[in-house]
């Protein structure tokens, strides 16, 4: 799609560097609050349970995070297409306002069912940046390297925010569980002015507004701007139903998308399972069947080994955050190495599979290492810092996998990548809803050692996916319908959008 040449046309690519920094920062603040809110109740489980007369190990408490993630599963399918109809700005402002309102509603909840409903609505609004920010950054950043760094920061924040929330809520909930959400509201309030003043950046919407202004002034646009072009894979007569159905069609017909989504989905589900598993291991003591915990042979031994306070137990998440920063550094180093190889016209660097997938191949083995470490070092004879440090490997692996896979899907599907990413986002959010619900039963029946090991064995099976993609990805894509259309160059549009 060509940009208008009229001097009056507000081309987002020509925004000042300061304005672009403002937009990138606004997006990062939104995704931070979105990620922060996803695990905000984790450190306040006991206080919430006591307030609403629930058992500390009641599965209903898992719904505080899981329903939020249900919103994450639904939201991208709504807000992505909506942002392409009304623009990025109204969607981001409207959903961030909704997030603020429902976070306040959580703090004022009169009963537990109301709290669950408000958490669902919080998650629905918080899902907006997952669908919109990749496109927002593509609107204003035409340099792939700069855009890649912005997206890498975006992904690091998605990993960092949920780790900070249990630490904050663990300490704050000692005053009142409601203060957990008041703190979340305060954090959102800091970011709200940045969101409120972002400009519109979506070119078709800007063209439409420009044409309307010209029409209202009785003018004619000589370069044809009064004829509004549509953008996106659906511009060739696709109906709205076809656009909304495309993610589901793609995940059924594209093996690369299906297995990449399963790999990211399991990794993402593990990320949120930790918010249920860490309290079992590090926090308050709740009697469960402990036959496999590796401490003694008493079936009534307490599986939560260390009995730390919620605030101190929240410190267990810090190594994951450190791992995320290490992963970001590795991303930059590999990006520099790959860019140098491209400039030198090395054959391997020209293949899509080598642009990011080696990072996933590096991160994939780190997940089972982290899980085995956590499971078999959680003993009273071992200081709690030792199992906590397993999070360093998990954080590195988790972020590397996401950075690599999300960028790979964008590279592989180009103009179809918005639909591909929407499908991947929905599938991983569904898995993140379901797997944490099994945490208490799984750790209760198998114990900490073998529950963690079972997850590690699954991680080993899935770890082969990036290696298979590196070796056979191009061959698989050449035989997949959507990939064939991209490879044949049937679509020539602006840089693909990303839904994270």
* Pair (243, 221) in one structural domain: no
Last residue of a domain, which of 180, 210, 231? 231
Segments in 254-317 forming alpha helices (H): 255-282, 310-313
* Pair (249, 151) in one structural domain: no
Domain with residue 448: its CATH number is 1.20.1250.20
Number of domains in the chain: 2
Position 224 scores a pLDDT of 52
- Residue range(s) defining the domain that contains residue 375: 239-500
Percent of the chain with pLDDT over 90: 30
- What are the C-alpha distances in Å from 5 to residues 206, 267, 494? 13, 45, 16
Question: Which three-class secondary structure state does DSSP give residue 302?
Answer: strand
* Pair (63, 152) in one structural domain: yes
What mean pLDDT is predicted for residues 478-486? Answer: 72
- The end-to-end CA distance of the chain, in Å, is 24
Least confident residue range of 27-31, 76-80, 394-398: 76-80
* Pair (419, 436) in one structural domain: yes
Last residue of a domain, which of 204, 231, 258? 231
* Pair (32, 160) in one structural domain: yes
* Pair (179, 256) in one structural domain: no
User: And the tokens for 247?
Assistant: 């993610």
Q: Is the torsion defined by CA of 494, 72, 316, 379 positive or negative? A: negative
Q: Is the torsion defined by CA of 347, 351, 356, 361 positive or negative? A: negative
Cα separation, 354 vs 366, in Å, equals: 20
* Pair (219, 296) in one structural domain: no
- What are the C-alpha distances in Å from 15 to residues 141, 149, 203, 327, 400? 10, 18, 13, 30, 31
Confidence class of residue 4 from pLDDT cuts 50, 70 and 90? very low
What confidence tens digit (pLDDT) does each residue in 166-202 have? Answer: 888 888 888 889 999 999 999 999 999 999 999 988 8
Does this model's pTM top 0.85? My answer is: no
* Pair (184, 292) in one structural domain: no
Element (H, E) at 289: none
Which among 138, 99, 157, 119 is positioned nearest to 41, based on CA atoms? 119
What confidence tens digit (pLDDT) does each residue in 75-104 have? Answer: 887 887 788 778 889 999 999 999 999 999
* Pair (250, 208) in one structural domain: no
Residues 6+ apart with CB under 8 A from 398: 159, 267, 270, 271, 320, 323, 324, 327, 363, 367
Partners of 287 in beta bridges = 302
Name the one residue in this structure whose structure tokens are 């894979």. 233
Last residue of a domain, which of 177, 209, 231? 231
* Pair (212, 273) in one structural domain: no
Confidence class of residue 20 from pLDDT cuts 50, 70 and 90? very high
User: And the tokens for 30?
Assistant: 């939104």
* Pair (206, 318) in one structural domain: no
* Pair (280, 214) in one structural domain: no
Query: How many CB atoms within 10 Å of residue 309?
Result: 15
């Amino acid at each position: 799609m060509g940009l208008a040449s009229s001097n009056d046309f507000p081309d987002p690519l020509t925004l000042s560097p300061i304005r672009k920094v403002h937009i990138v920062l606004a997006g990062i603040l939104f995704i931070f609050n979105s990620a922060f809110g996803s695990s905000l109740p984790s450190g306040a489980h006991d206080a919430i349970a006591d307030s609403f007369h629930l058992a500390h190990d009641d599965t209903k408490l898992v719904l505080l995070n899981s329903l939020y993630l249900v919103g994450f599963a639904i939201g991208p399918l709504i807000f992505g297409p909506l942002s392409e109809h009304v623009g990025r700005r109204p969607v981001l402002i409207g959903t961030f306002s909704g997030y603020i309102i429902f976070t306040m509603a959580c703090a004022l909840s009169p009963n537990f069912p109301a709290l669950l409903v408000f958490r669902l609505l919080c998650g629905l609004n918080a899902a907006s940046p997952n669908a919109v920010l990749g496109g927002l950054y593509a609107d204003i950043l035409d340099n792939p390297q700069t855009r890649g760094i912005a997206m890498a920061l975006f992904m690091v924040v998605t990993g960092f925010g949920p780790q900070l929330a249990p630490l904050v809520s663990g300490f704050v909930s000692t005053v009142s569980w409601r203060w957990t959400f008041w703190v979340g509201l305060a954090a959102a309030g800091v970011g709200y002015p940045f969101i409120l003043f972002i400009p519109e950046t979506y070119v078709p919407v800007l063209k439409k507004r420009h044409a309307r202004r010209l029409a209202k002034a009785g003018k004619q646009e000589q370069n044809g701007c009064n004829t509004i072009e549509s953008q996106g894979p659906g511009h060739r007569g696709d109906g709205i139903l076809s656009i909304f159905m495309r993610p589901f069609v793609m995940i059924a017909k594209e093996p690369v998308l299906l297995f990449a989504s399963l790999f990211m989905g399991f990794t993402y589900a593990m990320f949120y399972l930790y918010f249920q598993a860490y309290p079992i291991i590090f926090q308050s003591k709740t009697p469960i069947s402990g036959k496999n915990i590796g401490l003694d042979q008493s079936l009534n031994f307490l599986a939560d080994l260390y009995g730390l306070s919620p605030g101190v137990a929240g410190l267990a998440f810090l190594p994951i955050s450190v791992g995320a920063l290490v992963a970001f550094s590795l991303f930059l180093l590999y990006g520099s190495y790959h860019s140098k190889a491209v400039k030198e016209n090395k054959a391997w660097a020209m293949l899509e599979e080598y642009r990011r997938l080696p990072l996933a191949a590096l991160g994939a083995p780190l997940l089972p290492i982290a899980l085995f470490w956590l499971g078999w070092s959680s003993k009273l004879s071992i200081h709690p810092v030792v199992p906590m440090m397993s999070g360093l490997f998990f954080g590195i692996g988790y972020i590397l996998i996401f950075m690599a896979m999300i960028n790979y899907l964008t590279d592989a599907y180009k103009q179809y990548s918005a639909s591909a990413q929407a499908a991947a986002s929905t599938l991983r959010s569904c898995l993140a809803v379901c797997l944490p619900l099994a945490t208490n039963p799984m750790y209760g029946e198998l114990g900490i050692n073998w529950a963690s090991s079972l997850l590690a064995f699954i991680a080993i099976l899935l770890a082969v996916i990036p290696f298979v993609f590196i070796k056979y990805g191009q061959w698989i894509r050449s035989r997949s319908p959507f990939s064939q259309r991209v490879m044949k160059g049937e679509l020539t549009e602006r840089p693909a959008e990303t839904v994270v």
